[in-house]
């Protein structure tokens, strides 16, 4: 943090906050770890309610927060555990839809301010999509303030019935924010991946339908005429793996599914281009890390991506394999264009909020909601 000051006035008890995490979203868990650290440094008491596995991975206790195990379930036992944890809270801050819904249930009948942060949105079709929309409505109408990490999430909250929805400052927490392009492992890693003497294209994310990997494979089929032939590597795991693998083999595509990886910064440093083909993204971690690491990015013009990257990436319509293939082909053939994108990426990344600014904004919202009402 660039500065640390005590938030509690002399003689006053510290502000007591409870952060509620579902545990299913790495972005929100990393954000809460960063937030807890900054709040504790400012004299705020923080309790994080999260499943054991999230607490183990993100070490909330190491940030100075207390941890209470609350499973990723809205059953009566989980809600009761959360209600007990919130008993002496001045304010509750929930992250993500399901964690927010649990918080609404736990705070039922209590006059405790509830802040909700939406880091993204759930992807579903059919009856489940309708159910999630009902949950969203219940949550935003109960929340004192809804913070959305992108302008379209703020618009969605407002249209769903939020009394007060605002754009949230959201830094890229942890070491990813300071990714440097380390060239030392590049040749070895490229050789291991099979990308010596050819362009290496990297996509990262769960193998789910909304990631647009079917479109990415269509694009890979279109650029098979390129010489040398680019290799696409996809880091991530998910339900579509068998289907994608079958297509790769049947169509003879230069695409490798790497599975879950814990060396994404190294993969980025080895890559020539980063790819994001999703149908929707908020503040994509891959997009942020690519620009920080000076890796040219080709991404779909969806969700929060245009605001996030500005003119520092090649943007294409979602679902347009031809546009994606042309953008990639143009980049791998034009080193000067790649260098321009790298320079723009550095400038764009410098405009993003820092962790310090993110904590300061959240704390100003807390102050607003917990300040005593003046007597008239």
User: Is the predicted pLDDT of residue 229 greater than 50, yes or no?
Assistant: yes
What per-residue confidence (pLDDT) applies to 374?
A: 60
Weakest-pLDDT range from 47-61, 77-91, 172-186, 290-304: 172-186
Residue range 62-121, pLDDT digits in tens: 999 999 999 988 889 999 999 999 999 999 999 999 999 999 999 999 999 999 999 888
H/E stretch holding 225 reads none
User: Is the predicted pLDDT of residue 232 greater than 50, yes or no?
Assistant: yes
Label residue 318 by pLDDT band (50, 70, 90): very high
CB 302 within 8 A of CB 323: no
What per-residue confidence (pLDDT) applies to 87?
A: 96
The percentage of residues in the chain with a pLDDT greater than 90, rounded to a whole number, is: 81
User: Is the predicted pLDDT of residue 188 greater than 60, yes or no?
Assistant: yes
Between CA 346 and CA 85 the distance in angstroms is 42
Q: Helices (DSSP H) in the chain: which residue ranges?
A: 26-41, 52-58, 76-85, 97-106, 127-142, 151-160, 186-193, 213-222, 241-251, 264-270, 285-292, 305-309, 321-332, 335-349, 355-370
CB 117 within 8 A of CB 94: yes
Which residues, other chains included, contact 82 with Cβ-Cβ below 8 Å and sequence gap of 6+? 20, 49, 68, 70, 102, 103, 105, 106
Residue range 251-290, pLDDT digits in tens: 999 999 999 998 999 999 999 999 999 999 988 989 999 9
Q: What is the CATH number of domain 16-171+353-370?
A: 3.40.50.2000
What residues does 274 pair with on adjacent strands? 202, 297
Between CA 235 and CA 258 the distance in angstroms is 5
Q: Which of 218, 224, 258, 216 is nearest to 241 (CA)?
A: 258
User: Is the predicted pLDDT of residue 4 greater than 50, yes or no?
Assistant: no
Mean pLDDT of 34-55: 96
Label residue 176 by pLDDT band (50, 70, 90): very low
Residue range 333-353, pLDDT digits in tens: 999 999 999 999 999 999 999
Label residue 373 by pLDDT band (50, 70, 90): low
- Of 316 and 12, more confident: 316
Q: What is the pTM of this model?
A: 0.84
Residue range 147-167, pLDDT digits in tens: 999 998 999 999 999 999 999
Q: What is the CATH number of domain 175-349?
A: 3.40.50.2000
User: Is the predicted pLDDT of residue 321 greater than 50, yes or no?
Assistant: yes
Between CA 44 and CA 46 the distance in angstroms is 6
Burial letters for 93-121: b for 16+ Cβ neighbours within 10 Å, e otherwise?
bbbbbbbbbbbbbbbeeeebbbbbbbbbb
User: Is the predicted pLDDT of residue 2 greater than 50, yes or no?
Assistant: no
What per-residue confidence (pLDDT) applies to 227?
A: 93
Name the phi and psi angles at 46, rounded to 5: -125, 130
Q: Please measure the distance between the N-terminal and C-terminal CA atoms of the chain and give it in whole angstroms.
A: 39
Same fold, 16-171+353-370 and 175-349: yes
- The residues spanned by each domain of the chain are 16-171+353-370, 175-349
User: Is the predicted pLDDT of residue 359 greater than 80, yes or no?
Assistant: yes
What per-residue confidence (pLDDT) applies to 124?
A: 74
Mean pLDDT of 54-67: 95
User: Is the predicted pLDDT of residue 14 greater than 90, yes or no?
Assistant: yes
How high is the mean pLDDT of the chain? 91
């Amino acid at each position: 943090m660039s500065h640390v000051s005590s938030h509690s006035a002399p003689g006053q008890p510290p502000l007591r906050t409870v952060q509620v995490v579902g545990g299913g979203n790495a972005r929100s868990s990393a954000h809460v770890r960063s937030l807890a650290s900054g709040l504790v440094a400012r004299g705020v008491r923080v309790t994080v309610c999260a499943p054991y596995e999230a607490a183990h991975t993100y070490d909330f206790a190491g940030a100075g927060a207390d941890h209470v195990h609350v499973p990723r379930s809205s059953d009566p036992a989980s809600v009761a555990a959360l209600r007990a944890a919130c008993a002496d809270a001045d304010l509750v801050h929930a992250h993500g839809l399901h964690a927010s819904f649990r918080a609404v249930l736990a705070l039922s009948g209590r006059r405790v301010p509830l802040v909700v942060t939406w880091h993204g949105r759930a992807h579903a079709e059919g009856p489940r999509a309708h159910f999630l929309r009902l949950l969203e409505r219940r949550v935003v109408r109960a929340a004192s303030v809804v913070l959305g990490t992108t302008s379209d999430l703020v618009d969605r909250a407002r249209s769903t019935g939020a009394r007060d929805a605002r754009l949230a400052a959201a830094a890229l927490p942890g070491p990813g924010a300071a990714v440097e392009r380390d060239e030392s492992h590049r040749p070895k890693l490229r050789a291991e991946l099979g990308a010596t003497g050819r362009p290496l294209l990297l996509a990262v994310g769960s193998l789910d339908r909304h990631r647009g990997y079917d479109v990415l494979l269509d694009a890979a089929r279109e650029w098979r005429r390129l010489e040398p032939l680019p290799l696409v590597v996809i880091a991530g795991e998910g339900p579509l793996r068998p289907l994608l693998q079958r297509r790769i083999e049947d169509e003879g595509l230069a695409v490798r599914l790497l599975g879950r990886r814990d060396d994404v910064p190294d993969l980025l440093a080895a890559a020539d281009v980063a790819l994001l083909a999703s149908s929707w993204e908020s503040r994509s971690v891959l997009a942020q890390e690519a620009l920080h690491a000076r890796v040219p990015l080709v991404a779909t013009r969806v969700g929060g991506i245009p605001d996030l990257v500005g003119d520092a990436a090649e943007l294409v319509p979602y679902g347009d394999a031809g546009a994606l293939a042309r953008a990639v082909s143009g980049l791998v053939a034009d080193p000067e264009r790649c260098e321009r994108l790298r320079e723009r990426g550095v400038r764009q990344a410098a405009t993003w909020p820092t962790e310090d600014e993110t904590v300061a904004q959240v704390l100003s919202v807390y102050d607003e909601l917990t300040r005593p009402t003046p007597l008239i």
